[in-house]
Chain A
């Protein structure tokens, strides 16, 4: 038996013994997702236990080094773990922007001290992070951000406003892009980390067309941030930001595959009776299955270092546009049932809310148009600005 087969057998046995039955059921709603954090109220004992046993092994972040709270697994082993979890329908023990966005950036750009301090907290789900990127005047043109951080000796003084800060009202800490120099656009940005309980930080949720409030406006009024809480060098934060955006795009691209344990294809769910709708859904299913193949290929290439650095932009564009189509067709298939907004029958208007929420997929994390610009410039090397 190869080492990998042994690992698979052992993993299977361990998961069988340790993954609670409740954590092997499909995710039905946002409430089933474990985000962790200082103020996290576990939905059930099973959710708490599942996080604890997985974090104990470092398997909330299986491929991070053990020194930083990870599992120290090779890419192949991490992939086996993913397969074995999928086999029993195990939920992810922990979902967080710390894992999917900040962690990879810290691993690449953080000091040894920062890694030792922040990464284990992320791995154990103790600190919930939010992302302070967009501003009212800096959306697609992100590098135009104006939130200012002044160096006043022993600390940074931060003033300004962020918008579209995901779950800022629930987060413990923020990773935040600030302007430390007006001399250069991209070259005047720094990457700060600070506690959301610091005096001067306030948040206000934004109600979306879907009826939910996953985003906030976040205000900074003379917020004092210790000097050492900067990632990378002063005025070099744009490099960290871009690297992190690649990971964010990769994560959002996954939406093309359907969320919450639904199938990749729509036809078996909708079972369309009208020929024209059936034809359109079949066209969608071809695209969805082809994209699933692309997603596998991209993941393998990314791990092997064979993917173009700008390819997450391609994946993000394709995945989000696909998810919007999925929701349009799910609404069509649902007919008037899908229009109900808060009935129990409609599970609180889940179809309509998901449909409306999906419209943001091709805006957040860089619009589809921005992704196409990036592909045209960096992959196709077309001329122009």
Chain B
């Protein structure tokens, strides 16, 4: 594994200082939660992402983007995780942008993603657990286009999106990887009902219901019945990205907890002096370092097009979600009573880790995938 290049270190520093300054919990997450924002994130901040070029992190330079890879996205996402900054970065700039790469939809949407004017979403899950091959939503051919019927859920920022990349079945039956197609569906499509749902972490995800939604043939992303490959590409970027954000969440929560251990006194001593807490903190630190290494390895393998990338993407997502879960549980416990209050920020890390842990497959999904990819 190679260490970060000078350019990557510079990007990391830029993202770290930008997000610590502008994307902090008080000014972003708590603010939007308190005013009941329908998007769950701030468009002004998203414009700042655009000014820094970050909205185009993965968009090819030929389209005016930065043309960078999963590794650079991971650097930004770790800082997003550390600050719990709500933004469309993962869903729109990383996953959806990757899904439409190399298609005619890129021509239309890339300029709008870059400028921060448009937000894209991705609709995959149809039940409470991630299982893309179980996609059952029906896209029936009709005339020169298709008619969609069915439902989607856990569509991150779906109600804020201008276009929703939707995975639907054009052939075969639920359980098969063949016969799946990706469609670019406008949020305003006739017959599409969008229910904006607030999640535990105050982010927004939509439930979609498609009632005879008619779309043109040119809404197809890539080729009909061949959606599995571009989906894997987009999911690979999304899973590796979510892993990096989870590492950031774990780091942020742990840093806050270590500060608390160095300040809080009981029995006339700093509680950080107690070995029972020191050992748990040291174990946690070790696990976070390992999760970070796994997340970077996955990103680097994706960037080099290595055949082991898929395996490591699942390793990274499973490991990072597991470690973030450990970090937030330990953090709330070590904070004691104050950790249970809404006033303290530590609980916000626990909420965010739960949502990201589920996104694009939870620890059980990815452990199972590691077993399958390893042939057992």
Q: How far is the CB of A234 from chain B (nearest CB, A)?
A: 34
Q: Does B286 contact A (CB under 8 A)?
A: yes
Q: Does B35 contact A (CB under 8 A)?
A: no
Q: A282-B367, A290-B291 are in contact. Are A306 and B376 (CB under 8 A)?
A: no
A285, B371: Cβ atoms closer than 8 Å: yes
A372, B278: Cβ atoms closer than 8 Å: yes
Q: Please, which residues of chain A bring their CB within 8 A of the CB of B3?
A: 297, 300-301, 304, 306
Q: Does A265 contact B (CB under 8 A)?
A: yes
Fill in one digit per residue for A267-289: 1 if any B CB lies within 8 Å of its CB, else 0.
11011100000110111011101
CB under 8 Å from chain A, chain B span 246-298: 258, 261-262, 269-270, 272-275, 277-279, 281-283, 285-286, 289-291, 293-294, 296-297
Q: How far is the CB of B330 from chain A (nearest CB, A)?
A: 13
Q: Please, which residues of chain B bring their CB within 8 A of the CB of A56?
A: none
A271, B376: Cβ atoms closer than 8 Å: yes
Q: Please, which residues of chain B bring their CB within 8 A of the CB of A31?
A: none
Q: Does B198 contact A (CB under 8 A)?
A: no
Q: Please, which residues of chain B bring their CB within 8 A of the CB of A286?
A: 314-315, 318-319, 322, 366-367, 370
CB under 8 Å from chain B, chain A span 349-385: 369, 371-373, 375-377, 379-385
Q: How far is the CB of A203 from chain B (nearest CB, A)?
A: 35
Q: Does A291 contact B (CB under 8 A)?
A: yes
Q: Please, which residues of chain A bring their CB within 8 A of the CB of B279?
A: 369, 372-373, 376
CB closest chain-A residue, reference B1: A296
A380, B370: Cβ atoms closer than 8 Å: no
CB-contact partner of B286 in A281, A317, A373, under 8 A: A317
CB closest chain-B residue, reference A374: B282
Q: How far is the CB of B309 from chain A (nearest CB, A)?
A: 12
Fill in one digit per residue for B170-191: 1 if any A CB lies within 8 Å of its CB, else 0.
0000000000000000000000
B285, A294: Cβ atoms closer than 8 Å: no
CB closest chain-B residue, reference A285: B370
Q: Does B2 contact A (CB under 8 A)?
A: yes
Chain A, interface size category, equals 35 or more
Q: Does B368 contact A (CB under 8 A)?
A: yes
A382, B258: Cβ atoms closer than 8 Å: yes
Q: Does B128 contact A (CB under 8 A)?
A: no
Fill in one digit per residue for A197-218: 1 if any B CB lies within 8 Å of its CB, else 0.
0000000000000000000000
CB-contact partner of A279 in B261, B262, B272, B367, under 8 A: B367
Q: Does A192 contact B (CB under 8 A)?
A: no
Q: Please, which residues of chain B bring their CB within 8 A of the CB of A290?
A: 290-291, 293-294, 315-316, 319
Q: How far is the CB of B207 from chain A (nearest CB, A)?
A: 30
Q: A286-B370, A293-B312, A372-B279 are in contact. Are A383 and B262 (CB under 8 A)?
A: yes
Give the total of B residues in contact with A, Cβ under 8 Å.
44
Fill in one digit per residue for A308-325: 1 if any B CB lies within 8 Å of its CB, else 0.
000000100110000000
Q: Interface centre among B1, B2, B290, B371, by most A CB within 10 Å?
A: B290
A382, B281: Cβ atoms closer than 8 Å: yes
Give complex CA distance A372, B278 in Å: 8
Give complex CA distance A375, B3 in Å: 23
Q: Please, which residues of chain A bring their CB within 8 A of the CB of B285?
A: 314, 375, 379-380
Q: How far is the CB of A210 from chain B (nearest CB, A)?
A: 27
Q: A291-B290, A297-B296 are in contact. Are A285 and B258 (CB under 8 A)?
A: no
A384, B367: Cβ atoms closer than 8 Å: no
Q: Does B143 contact A (CB under 8 A)?
A: no
A293, B281: Cβ atoms closer than 8 Å: no
Q: A265-B374, A384-B272 are in contact. Are A289 and B282 (CB under 8 A)?
A: no
CB-contact partner of B278 in A282, A287, A294, A376, under 8 A: A376
CB closest chain-B residue, reference A304: B3
Q: Does B199 contact A (CB under 8 A)?
A: no
B270, A287: Cβ atoms closer than 8 Å: no
Q: How far is the CB of A273 from chain B (nearest CB, A)?
A: 9
Give complex CA distance A384, B275 in Å: 9
Q: Does B354 contact A (CB under 8 A)?
A: no
Q: Does B375 contact A (CB under 8 A)?
A: yes
Q: A304-B3, A314-B289, A376-B278 are in contact. Are A289 and B294 (CB under 8 A)?
A: yes
Q: How far is the CB of A31 from chain B (nearest CB, A)?
A: 31
Q: Please, which residues of chain A bring their CB within 8 A of the CB of B296?
A: 293, 297
Give complex CA distance A268, B373 in Å: 10
B293, A282: Cβ atoms closer than 8 Å: no
Q: Please, which residues of chain A bring their CB within 8 A of the CB of B311?
A: 289
Q: Please, which residues of chain B bring their CB within 8 A of the CB of A379?
A: 282, 285
Q: Told that A373-B278, A376-B279 touch, could you supply 20 new A-B pairs with CB distance under 8 A?
A: A268-B376, A271-B376, A278-B371, A279-B368, A282-B367, A282-B371, A283-B367, A285-B367, A285-B371, A286-B367, A289-B312, A290-B319, A300-B1, A317-B283, A373-B279, A375-B282, A376-B282, A379-B285, A382-B281, A384-B270
- 14 A-B pairs with C-beta separation under 8 A: A267-B370, A268-B374, A278-B376, A285-B367, A285-B374, A286-B315, A286-B319, A286-B370, A293-B290, A300-B1, A372-B282, A379-B285, A382-B272, A384-B269
Interface residues of B, Cβ cutoff 8 Å to A: 1-3, 258, 261-262, 269-270, 272-275, 277-279, 281-283, 285-286, 289-291, 293-294, 296-297, 311-312, 314-316, 318-319, 322, 364, 366-368, 370-371, 374-376
